[in-house]
Amino acid sequence: MSLAEKVPQALQAKIEKIIDNVKPSPWLNETQKIDYIAKIKALLVEKSAVLIAHYYVDDDIQALAEATGGYVSDSLDMANFGAKHKADKLVVCGVRFMGETAKILSPEKIVIMPTLEAECSLDLGCPIDEFSAFCDQHPDHIVVVYANTSVEVKARADWIVTSSNAIPIVENLMAEGKKIVWGPDRHLGQYINNKTGAEMVLWQGYCVVHDEFKLNELELLMTRYPEAEVLVHPESPEGVIAKADFVGSTKQIIAAGQRSESETLIIATDHGLFYKMNQAAPNKRLIPAPTGDKSATCKSCAHCPWMAMNTLINLYEALRDQTNVIEVDEVMRQRALVPLNRMLTFSRAHGILTAGDA
């Protein structure tokens, strides 16, 4: 078994244990929600802060970001927004690598998160020492990593990509005769490989949400709703992707749903995206793709347990006390900025959207 397979497999039990120990979000009644929202709004003004939320966090937080002049998007787009915004403080609701990405692009700003315990299985499943050793086994390969990684893994890379620009970037590298080390998501890597034919060796990490989508149950659901279009994120298993009418990033799925002539959409990504999907396609029926089957229960059930750790309560407390501040070593930040800027320069030159990584 290769290092790329052995390490993620060895970490699987640890990741599942972490998921099992994630505490459920505290329940708030409507009066309590209104109170916390009002206090957060006041603090954002008082502290010259802007709220930036990922598509997968709670609907109340996404709505609050929109209502206060903040932003809801994917991780790189969130970081770009924060870098351009006049606010001194960025309050990033998502998982930890998203706060790191914001800090990479905005080193002069204070980046606060509701919790620093919100992890990501792609990040946890790709530890820097082991991934670096894997890269060292292929010295004649270019290292291309997904944006859903730690700052240390980003710093080890030659290129950083998102799910919306990975294929044209890999095609460009292939045209230059480059061979590629890919990390960390095995399904996205296989999808890129299938589309481009590039010579790639793949780290075998996975997203706990997308890895659980089940082909057999999806086929049954498609039989029940034959008129539905199936929209799939490329972090999903290969068999699920093969059934898709459209494959793309979060932002691209929203746009595809808006364009679709079908009244029913089956969506294989985190159901946190349904908040924005309902805005973009208010008259369409949205059905989550199945994650469980007759022989197994789901761990994520189409919602990231770490995204669910972002709550109105810990958002308020972190902003009030200015805790959970993201710190990134400056040398590491500068190293990570090189492949990130390489991606941004390429994407702008080729008119490619850089958003859509998670």
DSSP state at residue 293: B
The Cα–Cα gap between 151 and 22 comes to 23
- The pLDDT, as a whole number, for residue 6 is 84
Average pLDDT over residues 234-239: 97
| Poorest-pLDDT segment among 10-14, 21-25, 115-119, 121-125 | 21-25
The Cα–Cα gap between 103 and 332 comes to 11
pLDDT higher than 60, residue 128: yes
- The pLDDT, as a whole number, for residue 295 is 47
CATH code of 122-206+332-349, in short, is 3.40.50.10800
Mean pLDDT across the chain, nearest whole number? 93
The Cα–Cα gap between 40 and 264 comes to 36
Of 37, 39, 42, 69, which Cα lies nearest the Cα of 53? 69
The Cα–Cα gap between 222 and 204 comes to 29
DSSP state at residue 144: E
Helices 96-105 and 330-349 sit at what angle, rounded to 10 degrees? 80
The Cα–Cα gap between 306 and 327 comes to 20
Q: Which two tokens stand for residue 319?
A: 């902003």
The Cα–Cα gap between 108 and 28 comes to 35
For 14-120+306-330, the fitting CATH number among 1.10.10.10, 3.40.50.920, 3.40.50.10800, 3.40.50.970 is 3.40.50.10800
Q: Which two tokens stand for residue 39?
A: 């206090």
- 299 pLDDT band, cuts 50/70/90, is low
Average pLDDT over residues 261-271: 97
pLDDT higher than 90, residue 358: no
Average pLDDT over residues 298-308: 83
Report pLDDT digits (tens) over 35-47: 999 999 999 999 9
Q: What percent of the chain has pLDDT over 70?
A: 96
State how beta strands 110-112 and 89-93 pair: parallel
- The pLDDT, as a whole number, for residue 298 is 64
- 25 pLDDT band, cuts 50/70/90, is confident
pLDDT higher than 80, residue 354: no
Average pLDDT over residues 71-88: 95
- The structural domains of the chain, with segments of one domain joined by +, span 14-120+306-330, 122-206+332-349, 210-288
Asked if the domains 122-206+332-349 and 210-288 are classified in one and the same CATH topology, the answer is: yes
- The pLDDT, as a whole number, for residue 97 is 97
- 93 pLDDT band, cuts 50/70/90, is very high
- The pLDDT, as a whole number, for residue 2 is 81
pLDDT higher than 60, residue 100: yes
pLDDT higher than 50, residue 357: no
pLDDT higher than 90, residue 227: yes
Q: Which residues contact 148 (CB under 8 A, 6 or more apart)?
A: 75, 97, 120, 122, 123, 184, 185, 207, 357, 358
Average pLDDT over residues 5-33: 84
- 313 pLDDT band, cuts 50/70/90, is very high
The Cα–Cα gap between 338 and 348 comes to 15
- 293 pLDDT band, cuts 50/70/90, is low
The 10 Å Cβ neighbour count of residue 36 is 19
- 300 pLDDT band, cuts 50/70/90, is low
Average pLDDT over residues 350-357: 63
pTM equals: 0.93
Q: Which residues contact 296 (CB under 8 A, 6 or more apart)?
A: none
Looking at the domain 210-288, which fold is it?
Answer: Rossmann fold (3.40.50)
